[in-house]
Structure 1
Amino acid sequence: MEYLDFELPIKELEEQLTKCVIIGEESDVDVTQTCKKIEKKLLETRKEIYKNLTSWQRVQLSRHPNRPYTLDYINALCGDTFLELHGDRNVADDKAMIGGLGKINDQSFMFIGQQKGYNTKTRQYRNFGMANPEGYRKALRLMKSAEKFNVPVVCFIDTPGAYAGIEAEERGQGEAIARNILEMTRLKVPIIVVIIGEGASGGALGIGVGDSVLMLENTWYSVISPESCSSILWRSWEFKEQAADALKLTAPDMKKMKIVDEIVKEPIGGAHSDRENTFEAVKSKIFEHFQELEKLSPKDLVNKRMDKYANMGVFNG
């Protein structure tokens, strides 16, 4: 288990509890009461730390190496019913963007999302979750297939941004993302978007237009990362914490500004501390929103989606 800087008090108490249990097992000393005291202190410390998280600490939690990624959610939600589909039928199969058909409660969904890696080798294989133009074109191809067969779409967002390499720009990165945004606004099937980790820049927006946009409690959604914002404004990454506060990128900020529709609560300690309950909460919310959206006709669905995005922001004429 890896710990972030602000989680060190929890680490110390967990180590104390482990030592206490070992002493009890290896000797005749009754340590039951001592262990209970440590457990109580541990629970109180957990609640206190996670109740008062700063914007930057939530950014750190969203990047936790043990945090579940898109494939973890899909496998937990769909089990053996998931069938991955590959390629954009033009250039290549982008490993940073995955998609395919799966079922939740016997209802078929087209799942699309960015996938990060678990170690150095898989991170390189997945390009750190940064999709190329062919990734967004693959996503659009799958959305169009879903529309053709009247299958609702679920998008999982977890990316530090779209890949910004020269070859990506040569193949039309900006156009691919813009095309996806346009096509998603008028797709005639329900679209449910779930932000499960990092939601950075156009890389997130390329699969981020939805009828219902859900955001896990310890995630972020912004036009730019705190580090990049800090380097532009202050010419240094040292002000990333101030940048995180200024960007208003947390789930409560997004909900307040009506950018997202609902915040999905995470277990105390973050999604990685209790994966099963996190998966169950996400599964429940996806199906709950789908049941509401399936009542709408395709025309009403598109009109409502258009109105939703047209009403975002403030305009002074």
Structure 2
Amino acid sequence: MVFLEFEKPLEKLYEQLEKVKEVGADGVVDMQATIDELEGRIKQTRRDIYSNLTGWQRVQLSRHPERPYTLYYVEQMCRKFVELHGDRCYGDDKAIVGGIGSLDGQTVVIIGHQKGVNTKMRQYRNFGMANPEGYRKALRLMKLAERFGFPVISLIDTPGAYPGIEAEERGQAEAIARNLFEMAQLRVPVVCAVIGEGASGGAIGIGLGDHVMMLENTWYSVISPESCSSILWRSWDYKEKAAEALKLTAEDMKGFGIVDEIVKEPQGGAHNAPEEMAKTLKRQLKKAIAAIQEKSIEQMVEDRIEKYVRIGPVTHAS
């Protein structure tokens, strides 16, 4: 198990539990009472830790190395899935995956960021930071969904769009802007879910939808706490303060009207019970799609545009 900085009390209890279990395995001394006591303390400690998480702690949870990514959810939710590649312009971006899947008999197009499950795969996936061809691939798949009337599911988990000079040369900003323009008018249901990090244009580039949900321990913001800290204080040392000031948690986003729903995670985070998390996410995605499909296409598009027009009201001083 991988423990985060604020989970150190849990780590110590787990270490004690393992030692006690080793002693009990010898069969010389009955350690069951001690095991039960430690397991009870672990449950209580976990409840205490996760009952009042700060913004920065939720950022840390969203980046947990064992947290499930897009392809895990696709595997768990879809009986069949065919991945499609390439943007038909430049190449295939590995940071964004997408394809056609079957969600309990309903055909959907699923698009999402993929970070990679180990160091080698993270390099291969560019740590979930997409180049322009990734956003153009996503748009190609969305237009394919529109052509055949398939709902679109977008799973967001990125530290941001790739900021390299080659990405700028190939039109990073235009690719993201084009996606926003097209997604606003897409004539099929679009449901988005932030499953990890939701940073900047890298997230919104596939994140404009009829219904936007966030998993409980995720964040959504124009900038990461570290980058915000480096700009304002010329140092990463104030990242915790920046995280609080940015108001980037799921609860904050729900309060601002930027997202429509918060999806509860298993206690300790999605990585503690990934199969349970996948079932919960699937249930909420199906529910959201069904609600959107009750509308006419014209009403759906009108409501989607109006939803984003309402975000960020400005009050003028008299």
* Cα distance in 2 for residues equivalent to 1:127 and 1:164: 11
| Alpha-carbon separation, structure 2, partners of 1:55 and 1:69 | 21
What SS does the aligned partner of 1:188 have? Answer: coil
Equivalent in the alignment of 1:54? 54
How far apart, in 2, do the equivalents of 1:103 and 1:27 lie? Answer: 50
Cα distance, 1:205 vs structure 2: 0.6
Give me the whole-angstrom Cα distance separating, in 1, the residues matched to 2:28 and 2:166: 67
Which deviates more, 16-25 or 82-91? 16-25
1:50 partner amino acid: Y
Q: Please name the residue that 1:187 is paired with.
A: 186
Q: Which residue identity is paired with 2:140?
A: R
TM-score, length of structure 1 as denominator length: 0.98
Q: How does 1:1-317 map to 2 (within 5 A)?
A: 1-79=1-79, 81-317=80-316
The 1-side partners of 2:78 and 2:159 are apart by 26
Q: CA deviation at 1:316?
A: 3.1
Deviates more, 1:18-27 or 1:137-146: 18-27
Superposed CA RMSD: 0.8
**In structure 2, how many angstroms separate the alpha carbons of the residues matched to 1:253 and 1:68?**
23
Higher mean C-alpha displacement, 9-18 vs 286-295? 9-18
Shift of the alpha carbon at 1:31? 1.6
Q: Which amino acid aligns with 1:11?
A: E
The letter for the 1-side match of 2:187 is K
Unaligned 5+ residue runs, structure 1?
none
User: What's the secondary structure of 2:167's corresponding residue?
Assistant: helix
The runs of 4+ residues in structure 1 deviating greater than 3 Å are none
- Identity between Structure 1 and Structure 2 (%): 59
Q: TM-score, normalised by structure 2?
A: 0.98
User: Shift of the alpha carbon at 1:165?
Assistant: 0.8
Question: Aligned partners of 1:163, 1:17: CA distance in 2, in Å?
Answer: 43
Instruction: Measure the CA separation in 2 of the matches of 1:164 and 1:110.
Output: 27
Q: CA deviation at 1:27?
A: 3.3
Q: Partner amino acid for 1:195?
A: V
> Could you say what secondary structure the match of 1:94 adopts?
coil
Give the superposition deviation at 1:183: 0.5
Unaligned runs of 5+ in 2: none
